[in-house]
């Protein structure tokens, strides 16, 4: 999907805002999006949230 990293982060932040997700998680998600925006353009924000939760459990 053709989206800029900023567009993906905007979508991610809206997703988090609707779910009342904390700023620390939002920042970690922003970093993952910046590291590989093409990957996250093709995945759901729920998958990003799951990936962050899996990292936190390690």
3-state secondary structure of 46: helix
> CA separation (Å) from 41 to 31, 35, 56, 57?
14, 12, 22, 24
Domain boundaries, the chain: 5-57
Q: What is the pLDDT of residues 19-46, one digit of tens each?
A: 999 999 999 999 999 999 999 999 999 9
Q: Is residue 1 scored above 80 in pLDDT?
A: no
pLDDT given for residue 53 in this prediction: 96
């Amino acid at each position: 999907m053709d989206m800029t990293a900023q567009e993906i982060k905007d979508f991610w932040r809206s997703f988090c805002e609707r779910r009342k997700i904390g700023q620390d998680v939002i920042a970690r998600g922003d970093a993952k999006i910046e590291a590989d925006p093409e990957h996250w353009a093709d995945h759901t924000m729920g998958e990003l949230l799951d990936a962050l939760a899996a990292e936190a459990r390690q």
